[in-house]
Chains A and B, each alone.
Chain A
């Protein structure tokens, strides 16, 4: 079966939903949204805690409630969607191969594509933690799915490795379900989660957070019996003599998220080694004309609201591309992560496509206190932002007035943390 669409959006999480909606609202008729899961909404459906929508709706919604707003709009707009449909191939000339039970194998030619596949969790294997391989070791997201969607608990006494947001949220969730969370263990000297989650999920429940610690060994023949934790030195190596055994039947891993770019790689889309996601323009267009990307497939966000904002931009751009209104990719400005900055998205800008503002998302590479964040155009400082605290766990959202960029003929825009005494 061969079909043609104007815009095909791959992935129906917060990014995909928003992109499909904006594409349709901006005058594109044939929009198709596909997702491999059984329902729309992606991971939002298992995030039953609140805190979603604070920026966008000025309300505190749960994940499913947040998703519902977009799902309703999607349905009102009569946007076609396919669930339990897996895209198995994507070519650079925008032919998508997908399978599901109903249609079998489908080949679809799209005028524009929006990649919104999200991310996956890092596993125990990626950390190469020694020990046995018993049951009872889960990534935090998998445990969240079991508890919140399947209705089953994963254990009674838990240790959580990594203080990413899902780990923190699961610490609270397991506690509320009657399990004892014995420790949250973080390799870095700071948490990689949102401050509000540290307070609301750990401190409020008196769950200890061990910074600069790691798990050195896993014990248990059939089911997990316990883990050894140890302090680490400046090079993140375990310190001799600090090992402590904690008896537990469950270990959750919240040790990082990796953008799911298998399809992007299949289409030879250029990726950024810092984000592990596609290199994108101001319009969220990848290195291939007419293929856009947004949300966690581009870089791992910490707030769904920002995913939505970014995806709306991708959806609008895809519609403009189909209608021939998007200026071709051109690097008027190359954006660089300078001193103290891990990455900045987008990577390059065609100023003709900018409306009022250029929006940047960025993360710092370490914890900084009372520092200035500088935006430089070539060597000239454009903006200085005073920051009380900059942490790698929280994305900085920067808006730059497009006029400031259009007036100047510039080539490199650098975001950096100002050096001491500078």
Chain B
């Protein structure tokens, strides 16, 4: 019997689980995917927004600005790369100038610190490559860039260090309230919990409807992106937005915290919650639109494309409240942008709701707010590199040549307490395969390390989902790969993750 079951290990679920781990509560974090941060958290703009976009008075506005202010400390404690680059919203046409002033006013109401309206010369000093059409811009110094999945992984690791249990590949199929507790059917198991926090992102409405009256409806909104080569990663210094429209903040051009350039997203309402396709039209649109923000966008520098789905719901604000017809069941739904930024503040807000509900919350005496730091070989000095290799020779073996990732880092990612089990989960943690060759050289080596460290045959190593097998049979053999074996790994992931 758990005190609290958190459904969904995206950035919101992980942030809440971490906040709960400060208290003497038995908490479980349940995730249907094979890794945490495997849906909306892994595919978005990776921006910590300043907070001038949301309507004053809304939860979005409040939690955005609050959340933003927490990032320096969180990222220091969790050893997550984060950079406050500042952002610009640029007016490219005369009629957009008024929008800039409106955003400034809105930002002031939302209590966004340090904003300025920049004229031509200041704008060009900050962004020498900004489009010649740029007239005026809103500058917000508190905007930042981050690796969202790394933050979620770090929060999950920290939560586990402080006693939270994580179940991966664990789909909640039904929820029932029996007496004063909830019974969750997870895969073939029953999980009992006094309270349930629904952070199921795109599936939050379905989870709600298992136990409460259908109150909201999640409408996926697709956004497509391109990642560009590090050689043009310094094209812009800040996050450059165009003026927002009804469909969102528009197409941005941004450096990433890892040194690439990110462009996107478009914005398209779709019906399917599992449609992660990029489209010809969408990719063309983001490239054409992004090219208007800057002088020269080298479109030949694209290294990959991806699609993210925003978990939007009607009403245009976050839904964070106890379901009126299901006591002890808290919905945290409709967390679209600025959800990543707001995540720490959302967690605090949820703690407030729990306290209001008279949940007994005694603080742990041994709570550890820091996570064991991650070694990033590439960022060390030469002397540091030398010392590290002397201590552990696996740091002298470079596996990913594009991103300079060593065997030591990959092995660590596999053996941390929310360890990587798949090719993509290694990539998200320590970046082999994120570079310009996109894993061409290193993926066989990473698979080999995964197989060795997990005691699997290399053919059992999958890309991401249990069915995303990479290799089939051994050469000159006729027995084809059996899918049951893949499901075996899926189960392994669950047991390994929950064992810790």
State the A residues within 8 Å of B (CB).
Answer: 36, 84, 86, 88, 97, 99-105, 107, 120-121, 123-126, 128, 130-136, 139, 141-142, 145-147, 149-156, 177-178, 216-217, 221-223, 265
Contacts and interface: CB of A to CB of B under 8 A. Distances in A.
Interface in B365-405: 382, 385-386, 389-390, 393-394, 396-398, 401, 404
A136 B478 CA distance: 19
A297 to B, nearest CB: 14
Contacts of A107: 382
A178 B473 CA distance: 11
A152 B444 CA distance: 11
Nearest to B276: A132
A9 B73 CA distance: 47
Q: Which of A128, A156, A178 has the most CB of B within 10 A?
A: A128
Given A104-B396, A128-B226, A146 B444 contact: yes
A399 B279 CA distance: 49
Nearest to A224: B468
B306 interface: yes
Interface of B: 226-227, 231, 274, 276-280, 282-283, 300, 302-306, 382, 385-386, 389-390, 393-394, 396-398, 401, 404, 436-441, 443-444, 448, 458-459, 462-476, 478, 480
Main secondary structure of the interface of A (DSSP, over half): mixed
Given A125-B227, A154-B472, A222-B468, 19 more contacts: A36-B398, A36-B401, A84-B397, A99-B396, A104-B385, A123-B438, A126-B303, A130-B283, A131-B277, A131-B278, A132-B278, A151-B475, A152-B459, A152-B472, A152-B473, A153-B475, A221-B274, A223-B468, A223-B469
B396 A125 contact: no
A260 to B, nearest CB: 8
A123 B444 contact: no
Given A142-B440, A222-B467, A102 B385 contact: no
A216 B280 contact: yes
A162 B404 CA distance: 29
B386 A151 contact: no
10 contacts: A86-B398, A100-B396, A100-B397, A105-B389, A120-B436, A133-B306, A142-B441, A147-B475, A177-B475, A222-B463
Contacts of A86: 398, 401, 404
A156 B472 contact: yes
Nearest to B381: A105
A115 to B, nearest CB: 15
Contacts of B438: 123-125
A97 B463 CA distance: 33
A123 B435 CA distance: 11
Contacts of A139: 440
Given A142-B444, A152-B475, A177-B476, A125 B459 contact: no
Nearest to A1: B386
Contacts of A135: 462-464, 468-470
Contacts of A136: 470
Contact of B389 (A101, A149, A178, A222): A101
B239 to A, nearest CB: 22
Contacts of A128: 226, 283, 302, 305
Contacts of B401: 36, 86
Given A86-B401, A105-B386, A152-B458, A130 B279 contact: yes
Contacts of B274: 221
Given A123-B303, A123-B440, A222-B467, A152 B393 contact: no
A140 to B, nearest CB: 10
B302 A178 contact: no
A154 B389 CA distance: 35
Contact of B471 (A84, A97, A105, A154): A154
